[in-house]
Amino acid sequence: MTIKSYNPSNNALLGEMESTNVFEIKAIVNKSRLAFEKWGNLTKEERIAYIQKLYDEIKSKKEEFAKLLTNEMGMPISESLFDIDSGLEHIKWYMNNVKSIIGEKITYEDENEVDKIIFEPKGVVAVIIAWNFPFSSFVWQAVPNLIVGNTVVVKHSEYVPLCSKYIFDMVSKVLPENVYSVVYGDGEVGEELVKQNIDMICFTGSTKIGQKLYKIAGEKFIPIVLECGGSAPGIIFEDADIDSVIESIYTNKFANTGQICDGQKRLIVHESKFLEVCEKLKQCIESKKIGSPLEKNVEIGPLVSIQQLEKLEEQVKDAIKKGAKVICGGKRLELDNGNYYFPTILVNITKDMKVYNEEVFGPVIPIIKFKTLEEAIKIANDTEYGLGGYVYTLDKTKYDTVVKKLKTGMIALNNLYYLRPCNPFGGYKKSGMGKNNSEFALKELCNMKVVTYEK
């Protein structure tokens, strides 16, 4: 089967390649297992030296790679450049900290004995990556596996095969053969990959697919890390200084054209601030430029595909049909045959609407009123997801109360954000299990062995 890559800003064909077949997948995994015998036995210092070469290679290709990310996925070029810088920051952190995190740990010692924990790589890891951050997801999931000694076989989304190939070419230039491998194709290729002789699965994508992979991992009795969907609430209390946080409110929702797993998907606003928030967010949105993502001053680009655009349209039409009011947007932007949708604010939201119950992956924000803190928490937690959360208040005591009651894996206050390589990234409920980044993720990619020594 041929995979075709389209530019979402105009739906022009960018390129195509053949999907990886079953026999090729099996051969790739077998080669990865053979490569693991050497890669897994290298010292940490030797692997760090290889990852440093990869860091340098990526950095040297930054401008060219950012342009490809923008052309294939639709991310505004300024955000693509930032995404690569952020990824490089994460790689540097892994290199600087891996030795202390998975070095030998003495757990017990007396006059006769010393007990240690030794961290060893698991083996061959299948890494399946979503389309919205082709590079960051590679950095978060593939690079930590490589640096702890695992070999990886990666499948990116079929929407971004050219980005996948570009990353493969960079990695192959500096790492030993078959330590990093790729397969190309849709969900069927990913399913075939995880059925092979692998030792772990790392996945970024929808909860539905995550649940399916979880069953496969359970049957194989291998570990799995799942970073799935989100419907992050943004709670704005009556004491919030709207003028000081309005840009953060905008960014937390509309960065990457709203295609962010932990992005702010529902805005929950105290009734005393409701009209102010609606008006000032509308003004903020209307000040942003929509257009070709290659233009440096464009802040909102196209959605990745026609399919994503049509799903978003369906969600908005459902809300309007059930009584929602459009404050701004609410329709396609006809521009160069691209997948553009006007940034949209919806109010008069009810619980039977898709925008309330489903993950809204695009530039649409439903805004809901609340009267009391308890009501705000109830609305915020009224979702099957629990990835990110955002709180806007000047009251630290109130914030601490929300932190204790909000069922999410990460929470940000006002203009702050939690995304750093030292912080674990992951959620509660159906937003997944396990963590990316931080010492916790690196340890999760290893087997722990307890060894006793005589003195």
d(CA 192, CA 66): 30
| Cα-trace Rg, the chain | 23
**Active-site residue identified among 79, 158, 227, 444:** 227
Residues pairing with 3 in the sheet: 17
* 278 annotated active-site: no
Question: Which token pair is 281?
Answer: 């967010």
**What helix, strand, coil percent values describe the chain, rounded to 5?**
45, 25, 35
Angstrom CA distances, 349 to 186, 264, 282, stand at: 35, 16, 17
Q: How many CB atoms lie within 10 A of CB 308?
A: 22
d(CA 121, CA 40): 6
Question: Which token pair is 352?
Answer: 């039977």
d(CA 325, CA 342): 15
Contact (Cβ atoms closer than 8 angstroms) between residue 4 and residue 306: no
CA atoms within 13 A on the CB side of 105: 13
Considering only CA atoms, which of 446, 449, 421 is closest in space to residue 200? 446
* 261 annotated active-site: yes
**Active-site residue identified among 163, 202, 228, 261:** 261
Q: Strand (E) positions, 302-363?
A: 325-328, 332-333, 340-341, 344-347
Considering only CA atoms, which of 289, 362, 285 is closest in space to residue 327? 285
Q: How many CB atoms lie within 10 A of CB 382?
A: 15
Q: How many CB atoms lie within 10 A of CB 306?
A: 13
Catalytic annotation, residues: 227, 261
